Amino acid sequence: MIDAFLFIGLPYIALIVAVIGCVRRARLSKFSMSARSSQFLEDRQLLWGSAPWHIGIIVVLLGHLLAFLLPNIWSSVLTVPVAMFCIETLGIACALLALAGLGTLIFRRLTSARLQAVTTHSDLLVVALLFMQVLLGLLSAIYFRYGSAWSTGTVVPYLWSLLLLQPDMAYVAGFPMLFKLHLIGAWLFILLLPFTRLMHILAVPFTYLWRAPQRVVWNTTRRRQHAVAATIRAESRREFIKGAAGVTGATGLLALGVSSKAVNFFKGASHDPEAESAMLEKKLQRLQLTAEERGYELERQRNSMILVSPYAELDPLKGKYFIDYAMAPGLAFKGKDGMPIVMSAKCTHLGCTVSSMVDDNGRVLCPCHISYFDILTGMPNEGAPAKAPLAQIAWALVDATGKVVASRAPGQPVTGTLTPEALAQCGLYITKPGKASA
Amino acid sequence: MKLHETLRNTEKFLAERLPVEKMNYASMVQKKEVPVHGLAWGYYMGGLAMFFLMVQIATGLMLLFYYQPTVSDAHASVEFITDQVPAGALVRNVHAWASSLMIGSVLAHLLTAFAMKAFEKPRELTWVTGVLLLGITFAFGFTGYLLPWHQIAVNATKIGLQTIEEIGGYLPGQMAEWPRQAKEIIQGEASVGQATLSRFFSLHVIILPLAICGVLGFHLVSVQLHGMSKGIDAKPRHMERFFPTFLLKDLRVWGIAFMVLFILGVCLPFESLFAYPLFEPFDPKGSTPDGIKPEWYFFWVYYPLELLPLWVILVGSTLLAVLLLATPWLFKNTNRQTLRLLAIMAGIYLVIMTLFGENIYHLFKG
């Protein structure tokens, strides 16, 4: 019996009273629709109360409204578990946000004398009921999990049955007391709508969103000075905080980035056996090259003759590089008469090594500053950066038995003559400057 | 009597240039002010150069952990840094980029300081030490270039040093040998080899850093003692405090520079700007590679050297050195407008020679 009153009688009474009352109030005192502002009396706590409360409760109410208006779409969305978890989490978070805000608002109402001067009994009743209602809803959501999903099969048909004037209590009769209280609370709010500040729900200030911005300017000297000082204070503090945060953040990021690179740098290469052996091999090769070069140096200090190449390997068009007694590069060619041409390969301009390829005019090129040297005379071309000829180097041909069969000192004719067959067996040597080639 | 007077004059000269009575917190930090005017960006150039120097010191010390200054291992160790060590390529690349950027900002600092007449009495010694720092910076570039010991590095160094020997051609009799001997003293042996590498390494890593620390110390102290120069003939718009306003702005410029450097270091290998493969190790028996040329910051003297007879360059560079060192006295009475014009002309010359030097060379040499 009592259930029938609470879940069928009360809703209809509430709805009828609400509709008639709201229309009447809207007609009679239009400007009482919006809630009376208390921002002038107290504004700091209001921000931390009003904003979270309204944000939280609007999101929660929109959830209720969606489930009521579009139950099919709503339940099909909720079949995806992730979506359901998200909606449940969002709902609970917003309920907590609303409760925290409402708590702040209640505390504010109760502790400020200026506010109490404008607080009516209905205001207190409304906030107390609201707090209870949100708390009940939150507890229902926690104790009877996934209400967003099960409500579409129970509460929503009940509400629709009321709306279609075929009230069916069967859906709600078996509800736990906690949830029944939440439902009754909802009808009570609808009943109270026309008589309290709750009616501001219907006065949504949409035009606020696109109206031109307004600024309040206080036009008394004292107010102005106060405002300027407050702005400067706030600005300087904000600037300092912004700057400090920026510097700290940037320094932190920089330190993090640099140290992540630096630490790894000092930690050294990772041990990759293949890369390591390749590296070792390369180093060994270079060491051998260096040792070879040291060997040349020693050889040139001790020996009066150095092997350049077997005569058979000489070519008229491609010179053979060797290292002369000054440890500078030299080039050896086979001349047209069959006798070797041996000369320095160090450009007389700036000491580059000249190329070994002979061009059509019988010249080799120094690539650095484009000087062409005639390989017969060593002379550079006209107008070349190099002015002096490439130096001739003393050489000797030695046969298989170790006997010098032909030789030539720079600027002198060849001594000794050979048949081509004998030549092929010979090796080309350079001889130490200053020593007579024997 | 004469000696006494000279001593007294010297003492007076130094006392004016080094006002140690200003060496206190109040005048070096609290009271120091920086003028704000159209050329004020020039005040950031020196700090920027110093920032890049600090980057060079940090990255250089890091490279020192892995680099091995021997003929056989130098190239392999550089390869190891680039390929194997984590962030090794980045550190090496930042070192290469920062060297170029440091030279660039040092040159910009020189030109702006000249245009602002920052060498005016009592700042003569600041200017002279600045010129010394320029020389040291170039020496850093020249010695550092050899250390990777690849084809280009060694051959470019050979050519650079050979230029010294060329001077002998202009000297009479016995003196003709002196430049060659000087070159061999620098090289340590008859041709560029291990001795050269060791010498350049110790120059690059120990001697030049010590020198730059000493000279830079003097430079900075005298800047702090005398404060910022006025910069323009007209009255500056206003003055701003050195500490913290200017310093914070300076740090912001450093931050931007670091970001640019880091992005360059990560994204663009320095070698990618060269047309030739850089990574062949030096081969004493190989021929010199084609198209070899020094780093871009030597182009302003390299291309004229290629085009003109050596003696012109010798006379020219000697004149330039004298001119730079004597600037505070030579241009004592020149107004800032003329100085600005000269600096702009020098800047245009540097930019054109650096960007289009090769084209100009081919224009004349085909």
Write out the two tokens for A252: 């932190």
What pLDDT score was predicted for residue A243?
83
CB spacing of B292 vs A275 below 8 angstroms:
no
Does residue A235 lie in a domain region? no
- Which residue of B72, B78, B253, B262 is the best one to mutate when testing the A interface, meaning the one whose CB has the most A CBs within 10 A? B72
**pLDDT over 90 percentage in chain B:** 49
Note whether A24 and A143 are same-domain residues: yes
CA-nearest residue to B282 within chain A is A286
Helix (H/G/I), strand (E/B), else coil: A427: strand
Same domain? For A179 and A302 the reply is: no
* Amino acid at residue number A378: G
Return phi, psi of residue A315, to 5°. Answer: -135, 140
Q: A147: distance to nearest CA of chain B, Å?
A: 53
- Structure tokens, A17: 């009273």
Identify whether residues A30 and A157 lie together within a single domain. yes
Rounded CA-CA distance A356/A375 in Å is 10
Nearest chain A Cα distance for residue B258, angstroms? 10
Tell me how far apart the alpha carbons of residues B93 and B314 are, in angstroms, rounded to a whole number. Answer: 34
CB A15 within 8 A of CB A74: no
**Residue B73 with chain A: CB contacts under 8 Å:** 283, 286-287
- Asked whether residue A18 is domain-assigned, the answer is yes
Q: Is the pLDDT of residue B2 over 90?
A: no
Q: Tell me, what CATH number does A320's domain have?
A: 2.102.10.10
- What domain range is A427 assigned to? 292-431
What residues in B contact A279, CB-CB < 8 Å? 76, 80, 84
Per DSSP, B28 falls in state I
pLDDT at B352: 93
Q: Is the pLDDT of residue B237 over 60?
A: yes
pLDDT at residue A437, rounded to an integer: 44
Provide the shortest C-alpha distance from residue B79 to chain A (in Å): 9
Query: Span B123-148, mean pLDDT?
Result: 95
Q: Which of A389-403, A408-422, B143-157, B210-224 has the lowest mean pLDDT?
A: A408-422
In a domain, A436, yes or no: no
Let me know whether A182 and A302 are in one domain.
Answer: no
Query: What is the architecture of the domain spanning B35-292?
Result: Up-down Bundle (1.20)
Q: Does A353 touch chain B (CB under 8 A)?
A: yes
* Confidence (pLDDT) at B326: 94
Residue A250 domain-assigned (yes or no): no
Domain end point (choices A158, A180, A207): A207
Same-domain pairing of A323 and A196: no
Strand A320-323 to A329-334 pairing: antiparallel
Interface test with B, best of A270, A285, A352 (most B CBs within 10 A): A352
Report ipTM for this prediction: 0.78
Mean per-residue pLDDT pooled into runs of 10, chain A (438 residues): 83 92 87 81 87 94 91 86 87 94 91 85 90 93 85 86 85 85 92 89 82 77 84 82 88 88 87 86 87 85 85 86 84 84 85 85 84 86 83 85 81 76 82 62
- Reading the block at residue A146, the tokens are 């996934």
Q: Look at residue A320 in the predicted model and tell me its pLDDT.
A: 87
Domain boundary at A207, A231, A250, which?
A207
Give the 3-state secondary structure of residue A310: strand
Spans of all domains in chain B: 35-292
Say whether both A315 and A202 belong to one domain.
Answer: no
Final residue before a domain boundary, out of A149, A180, A207? A207
The string of pLDDT tens digits covering residues B305-314 is 888 888 899 9
pLDDT at A435: 54
The helix (run of H) or strand (run of E) holding residue A320 is: strand A320-323
CB pairs < 8 Å spanning A and B: 105
CATH number of the domain to which A187 belongs:
1.20.950.20
- The count of structural domains within chain A is 2
In a domain, A242, yes or no: no
Same domain, A184 and A296: no
pLDDT at A438: 41
Total-model pTM: 0.65
Same domain? For A179 and A319 the reply is no
C-alpha atoms less than 13 angstroms from C-alpha of A344 in its C-beta half-sphere: 19
Chain B residues with CB-CB distance to A262 below 8 A: 62, 87
What stretches of A194-341 show up as alpha helix (H) in DSSP?
Answer: 221-267, 273-302
pLDDT at B140: 96
A158 and A44 fall within a common domain:
yes
Within-domain flag for A264: no
Q: Chain A: residue nearest B80 by CA?
A: A279
The chain-wide mean pLDDT, for chain B, equals 89
**Residue A203 shares a structural domain with residue A303:** no
Q: What is the pLDDT of residues B179-200, one digit of tens each?
A: 988 998 999 887 888 899 999 9
